[in-house]
Structure 1
Amino acid sequence: MNAYKAEATHELKDVGDQWRTPDPLFWGINAMFGPLVLDLFSDGENSKCEAYYTAEDNALAQDWSARLSELNGAAFGNPPYSRAKQHEGQYITGMRHIVEHVIAMRELGGRYVFLIKSATSEVWWPEQADHIAFIRGRIGFDLPTWFKPKDEKQVATSAFFAGAIAVFDKQWHGPAIAYIERDRLYAQGEAFMAQIRREAARLAVRAAA
């Protein structure tokens, strides 16, 4: 992947698992189910949290629960949907394997918040989740920052699909299923981001005084 990123131009068909979660969407989810402190699936450049796992780390070989006990928060996952692949006998992708691992981690403790396709007919669909919030309205994802279109046919602003938020948490006491308006989720995220910017500006003024 690093070699492909370094190429002069790219094609949309090769973006694959590298579509990014838009910041307002992430912060809206954070406002509802966070604080989100561990990004489970990052390429090292698109992480939404200070702590994260890359493909080289292989999240499916990690103890998420132990890491969360250090970070005092919840984990976030916008998982890869590519076919299951192994490295040295250990699965590194594949939604069935990802769901199996998050269920095992839930038993050890912690909250795991996944942004997933609303694809209830898929074999990996997480019926075992403690809470699923279906998002009303299709959600979009951003191209990676390294993407340089090869030609005019490669220009795209987003990838859209019906989405849902799956929460795995043994301590969950809310409803099993809920619905949330996409625009409300984005508005919550924008408000959260505005608050962060205001606080950053205040701290900058104080530091300069």
Structure 2
Amino acid sequence: MNQNPYCQALAELRSRRSHKLKEVGDQWCTPDALWWGINAKFGPFTLDLFADDHNAKCENYYIAEDNALAQDWSARLATLGGAAFANPPYSRAREFDGHYITGMVPIMQHTAAMRELGGRYVFFIKSATSESWWPENADHIAFVRGRISFDLPDWYTPAEGEPSESSAGFGMAIAVFDKSWTGPAISYISREELEAVGQMLLTQIRRAAIKLVGVAP
């Protein structure tokens, strides 16, 4: 099978013995507490649109080799129920075998097409309203008050002199694509509120796990 160049580059990066922080690129991960907070307010999520076997937030997900932009998300959600979550990659647009494999403009175009077919698609995106890909057509935008720091992937091994974590934070927003949405077009929510809700859910999950198997996850 002829693997697309994005996947080839990603596999090579993961296989290195050490990495520079700037090389993490598209692979920053949504912190669990934040994800659970977003899930509580806009889910339940059953499909992770841009993930891998190490960082997927849902049992069902697309990895880079699947190319989410060549998939029918609406049909998948019709089977799964629930909603889809995306912490999308921001790589510049590239095509392979007649399909876009990266690029925020193609991602948002595909999302709009899936919305028309039905389903809810919730994107956790940079609050970059001046970018050409900014989703003016989203049914709801929730701007997050407070800057967000993301988690490093588990394969990241810092090279000499490189940090083991990032202190950088970003302004973020939650974009909801759902033609059945009946709420306001714009809202604001604090990072602290999302994290508090998420931590509460994580605590409940750990308690349930202890009751079931006697060990906390």
TM-score (norm 2): 0.91
1:36 aligns with 2:45: yes
**CA distance, structure 1, for counterparts of residue 193 and residue 153 of structure 2:** 25
- In 2, Cα distance between the equivalents of 1:183 and 1:128? 27
Name the counterpart of 1:125.
Answer: 134
Residue of structure 1 in register with 2:5 after alignment? none
What is the match of residue 99 of structure 2?
A: 90
- In the other structure, the counterpart of 1:138 is 147
Distance 1:44 1:109 in 2: 27
Aligned AA for 1:50?
E
Determine the C-alpha separation between the residues in 2 that align with 1:117 and 1:127.
14
- Number of the residue aligned with 2:84: 75
**Equivalent position amino acid for 1:118 in 2:** S
Q: Distance in 2 between matches of 1:50 and 1:96?
A: 27
Q: Which runs of 5+ in 2 are unaligned?
A: 1-9
Corresponding residue SS for 1:143 = coil
Q: 1:115 maps to which residue?
A: 124
Task: Tell me the distance in 2 between the aligned counterparts of 1:96 and 1:159.
Answer: 25
Instruction: Please identify runs of 4+ aligned residues in structure 1 that moved more than 2 A.
Output: 152-159
* 1:195 to 2:204 alignment: yes
**CA distance in 2 between partners of 1:164 and 1:55 (Å):** 23
- Deviation string for 1:140-176 (max 9, x for gaps)? 1011111000112343334411000000001111110
Flag structure 1 segments of 5+ consecutive residues without an equivalent: none
The structure-2 alpha-carbon separation of the partners of 1:118 and 1:145, relative to structure 1 and needing over 3 Å to count, comes to same
Q: In the alignment, which residue of structure 2 is the partner of 1:58? A: 67
Matching residue's letter, 1:114? F
TM-score (normalised: structure 1): 0.95
Identity, % of aligned positions: 63
Q: Tell me the equivalent position of 2:3.
A: none
What's the counterpart of residue 7 of structure 2?
none
Q: How big is the shift at 1:44?
A: 2.4
Deviation digits for residues 154-200 of structure 1 (CA, Å, limit 9, x no counterpart): 43334411000000001111110000011011111101111111111
What secondary structure does 1:92 align onto?
A: strand
Contact 1:42–1:55 (CA<8 Å) still a contact in 2? yes
- Kindly provide the amino acid, as one letter, of the partner of residue 74 in structure 1: A
